[in-house]
Amino acid sequence: MFLIRILYASEVSSSFQPGDVESILESARHNNSANNITGLLCFNNKYFLQCLEGSRSRVNDTYQRILKDPRHQRVIMLDYREIFKREFDQWSMGYVPQTHLTRNLNMRYSATPEFDPFEMSGESVYQLLASIRDNIPSV
């Protein structure tokens, strides 16, 4: 049971309702704690960016459930890798709202000041999340 990490992006669908983020976080935290999964979820009201880390089988099962969720669309895998330690282990699912996705941060890790994970490499996305972890420990 070795560790892996995935990073993926998606976009809200037309069936997404205000308040859905709270229910997504509630079930994510409940299920991820039970599955020993850790990670972060960024959301800017248009795009999701999520990191999931844990055992390969549990992360895969979770990702397959997430893929079928009608509240988002255009789900795209940005990175999959085997890891030797977790990087986001303080959160069963930490939440990074739009207010933390500042123009300065986006400029550092992408080509424009707007948050658009579809335009980012897996490495840039990982570095963005690591920077948030180090600088905004309350997420």
| Nearest by Cα to 32 from 75, 63, 73, 11 | 63
Interface with ligand FMN (CB under 6 A), residue from 71, 86, 114, 116: 71
Interface with ligand FMN (CB under 6 A), residue from 38, 44, 62, 110: 62
Q: Does 127 bind ligand FMN (CB under 6 A)?
A: no
Interface with ligand FMN (CB under 6 A), residue from 66, 96, 125, 129: 66
For residues 65 and 103, which CB has a smaller minimum distance to ligand FMN in the complex?
A: 65
Q: Provide the token pair at 103.
A: 């123009």
Q: How far apart are CA 110 and CA 114, in angstroms?
A: 8
Q: How far apart are CA 37 and CA 13, in angstroms?
A: 25
| Nearest by Cα to 89 from 5, 9, 2 | 5
For residue 35, count CB atoms less than 10 angstroms from its CB and return exposed for 0-12, middle for 13-18, buried for 19 or more.
middle
> What is the per-residue binding string for ligand FMN in 92-121, x denoting contact by CB under 6 A?
-x----------------------------
Residues that bind ligand FMN (CB under 6 A): 10, 24, 27-28, 31-32, 41, 48, 50, 52, 62, 65-66, 69, 71-72, 93
